C-alpha cells in the first residue's frame, strides 16, 4: 500500500501536520467508516466519512462522523440550495480521482464546496480518509477546515 496519495501530497505542500493510520479495509463492511473506526480502535464519532453530493445539481463534499447520518436538507441550506442528494459512485470517482471507500476531502481532482460537520471541533484530532481504501489520516480540525477550504456547519440528521 502506497502511503503517498494526492491528499497526503496536498497536505504536505500546504505544510499541514498529519499522521497516517493504515488498517485492513473490508469491502464487504456495510459501513466502511465504522469498520475503519473498529479496526483502528477509535471512537466512531471521531472517524469522519467523506461523502460526495449534489446540491441543486452542483457537486459538494461533506465530511461527517462515521456513526451518523447527514441531513440532506441541512446540507443544501449550508450552501443556499433547495435540495441535496448523494452523488453516484462513478461520478464521485471521476470528479475526485479517488475510489469510493477511499475518498478524501483533500487533494481532489477538482475543488468543490466542502462542509465539515461542526462536531469536528470537539476533538483534538479527526480521522479522515487519506485518499485510498485502508488509509486514514489524523489531523487537527482547524487544519482540516483550512486544507479543504471548508465551512463548519451542523449537517447531522
Taking only the tens place, the pLDDT of each residue in 139-149 is 999 999 999 99
Is 6-153 in CATH node 3.40.50.1240? Answer: no
pLDDT in tens, 86-116: 999 999 999 999 999 999 999 999 999 999 9
Q: What pLDDT score does 2 carry?
A: 66
Residue 126 forms beta bridges with which residues? 139
- Nearest alpha-carbon partner for 59 in 140, 139, 124, 114: 114
Residue 34 has pLDDT above 90, yes or no: no
Query: What pLDDT score does 26 carry?
Result: 86
What pLDDT score was predicted for residue 18?
A: 97
pLDDT of res. 32? 84
35-39, Cβ contacts within 8 angstroms, sequence gap of 24 or more: 36/66, 36/127, 36/136, 37/66, 37/67, 37/127
Dihedral (CA of 137, 142, 143, 144) sign: positive
Indicate if the pLDDT at residue 62 is higher than 70: yes
What are the tens digits of pLDDT across the range 109-128?
A: 999 999 999 999 999 999 99
Cβ(79)–Cβ(55) under 8 Å? yes
pLDDT of the residue at 57 = 95
Amino acid at each position: 500500500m502506497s502511503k503517498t496519495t494526492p491528499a497526503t501530497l496536498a497536505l504536505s505542500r500546504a505544510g499541514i501536520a498529519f499522521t497516517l493510520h493504515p488498517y485492513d479495509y473490508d469491502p464487504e463492511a456495510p459501513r466502511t467508516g465504522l469498520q475503519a473506526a473498529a479496526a483502528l480502535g477509535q471512537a466512531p464519532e471521531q472517524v469522519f466519512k467523506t461523502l460526495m453530493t449534489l446540491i441543486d445539481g452542483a457537486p459538494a463534499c461533506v465530511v461527517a462522523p462515521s456513526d451518523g447520518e447527514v441531513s440532506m436538507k441541512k446540507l443544501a441550506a449550508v450552501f443556499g440550495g433547495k435540495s441535496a442528494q448523494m452523488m453516484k459512485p462513478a461520478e464521485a470517482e471521476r470528479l475526485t480521482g479517488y475510489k469510493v471507500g477511499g475518498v478524501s476531502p483533500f487533494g481532489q481532482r477538482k475543488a468543490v464546496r466542502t462542509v465539515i460537520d461542526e462536531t469536528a471541533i470537539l476533538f483534538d484530532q479527526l480521522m479522515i480518509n487519506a485518499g485510498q481504501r485502508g488509509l486514514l489520516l489524523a489531523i487537527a480540525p482547524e487544519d482540516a477546515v483550512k486544507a479543504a477550504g471548508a465551512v463548519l456547519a451542523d449537517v447531522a440528521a
